[in-house]
Structure 1
């Protein structure tokens, strides 16, 4: 399977999972090649992430020189794509579901696309003044809740673990993201 059709199928699978349709998993390449290709999602989203960083700077929300800010944020962005999968490799071994690690990470990575598109879209529209701040806050809160549920659904259906374990994995994901961002951006 070539990279572009694989990405299109995977994005369709992520969309199906976003609708809480477990058959979305059927659209992912769950091989080792598919695992590595799933990290393409980071590069697909990078221009959108750069747009967010530029909009934040334009809105005066950046206290650092833009070059330093950009370097720190991009470091955090790309490291975040690596840290969670590395931790999950160890955790799936510990939980006894290592055989489902690759399908989980593949789905998890591709599921970042709809999450980032929605979050960044709302935030950028707010930063440039097309959506009032109060609505942006409400929408991002709803999106955050949806993201937690969506991530939990992916963990539950890919790893086949109990709901309590699923909740722990989602919490771990959020915690790692916060810690990484704090370590890099201070």
Structure 2
């Protein structure tokens, strides 16, 4: 079971990576045990993810019930998260970086939790206080920063070129879009 110390250390490591600190990886548990512990981030992200989307639910035009909506969103989150890691596992094997794949997974998992933690208050402020255009702008800026951060994480953990890192970050974008499109009909049902 993952300890509170490992969680906080990993989240601090995510912060240090964002600051491009060369010692940032030392805050993560880079071991086989740490690899499995990092998947706790998927569970820890759920309460914030649910709360944030429950707040946004009223402004979304859907006839899907709140419980079904939140369940489907969480399921889509886990599928896209896991699908990206599965794609990267296949690429790791065929592109010769399988020895660094576990480090990438550990960091990626904890960084995803860190990003959800950072986005949580921003989303509440943006959707509850700011005009729609400004909130959309903040959302777009956050997404761009997130992918720049992912690019950096890929470079650091997998030790690949900037161009390859761009490709791997774009694959994550495609996976997320594909999963969202798959779930869109269930999430955004209209009244008949």
TM-score by length of structure 2 reads 0.88
The answer as to whether partners of 1:122 and 1:136 remain within 8 angstroms in 2 is no
Structure-2 change in CA distance of 1:94 and 1:77 (3 Å): same
Query: How many residue pairs were aligned?
Result: 185
How far apart, in 1, do the equivalents of 2:61 and 2:104 lie? 35
Q: Is 1:6 equivalent to 2:6 in the alignment?
A: yes
Q: Which moved more, 1:52-61 or 1:31-40?
A: 52-61
Shift of 1:143: 1.1
Moved over 3 A (4+): 60-63
The answer as to whether partners of 1:39 and 1:81 remain within 8 angstroms in 2 is no
How far apart, in 1, do the equivalents of 2:10 and 2:29 lie? 8
Q: Structure 1 stretches of 5 or more lacking a match?
A: none
Q: Which moved more, 1:31-40 or 1:132-141?
A: 132-141
How far apart, in 2, do the equivalents of 1:62 and 1:20 lie? 41
Where do 1:22-171 residues align within 5 Å? 22-128=22-128, 130-171=129-170
Q: Structure 2 stretches of 5 or more lacking a match?
A: 186-192
User: RMSD of the TM alignment (CA)?
Assistant: 1.7
Structure-2 change in CA distance of 1:134 and 1:182 (3 Å): same
Shift of 1:86: 1.2
How far apart, in 2, do the equivalents of 1:89 and 1:114 lie? 22
How far apart, in 1, do the equivalents of 2:17 and 2:61 lie? 34
TM-score by length of structure 1 reads 0.91
SS at match of 1:22: coil
How far apart, in 1, do the equivalents of 2:93 and 2:9 lie? 28
The answer as to whether partners of 1:10 and 1:29 remain within 8 angstroms in 2 is yes
Shift of 1:60: 4.0
Q: Which moved more, 1:57-66 or 1:36-45?
A: 57-66
Partner of 1:174: 173
How far apart, in 2, do the equivalents of 1:81 and 1:136 lie? 25
Task: Note the alpha carbon deviations across 1:65-123, whole angstroms, 9 max, x for none.
Answer: 22322222121022223111111111111110100000011111111123222333222
How far apart, in 2, do the equivalents of 1:43 and 1:2 lie? 11
